[in-house]
Amino acid sequence: MTKSELIKLVSEKLTNITKKDMKVIVDIIFDSMIDALKSGERIEIRGFGSFKIKDRDARCGRNPKTGDLVSIPNTKTLYFKAGKELKERVDY
């Protein structure tokens, strides 16, 4: 599902809100989530899951073509853990 499909689906269910207004609402929600993650906060949406930023330590890797050792710097990565209710509803 794309962002525009999400906007269309929600605006169809909430007939008193236009697609244009729904786009603004969705943008505000996503921007707020991004800002929270940037500042190091954890986001938890009950029944859906949680998002957080994890630090990955620097490590040595190998170039798959040449086999040479390559130094990989430390980075931050986004981590999502699905909530119990989401797991139960998706598991078929």
What pLDDT score does 91 carry? 83
Full-model pTM: 0.77
Q: Where are the chain's structural domains?
A: 3-90
Q: Is the dihedral of CA 47, 53, 59, 60 positive or negative?
A: positive
Question: Has residue 92 got a pLDDT over 90?
Answer: no
Q: In angstroms, rounded to a whole number, what is the distance separating the alpha carbons of residues 91 and 87? A: 6
Q: Which CATH number fits domain 3-90: 2.40.50.140, 4.10.520.10, 3.30.930.10, 3.30.590.10?
A: 4.10.520.10
42 within 8 A of 52, measured Cβ to Cβ: yes
What pLDDT, in 10s, does the model give residues 31-73?
999 999 999 999 999 999 999 999 999 999 999 999 999 999 9
What pLDDT, in 10s, does the model give residues 70-84?
999 999 999 999 999
Question: Has residue 6 got a pLDDT over 90?
Answer: yes
Q: In angstroms, rounded to a whole number, what is the distance separating the alpha carbons of residues 72 and 80? A: 23
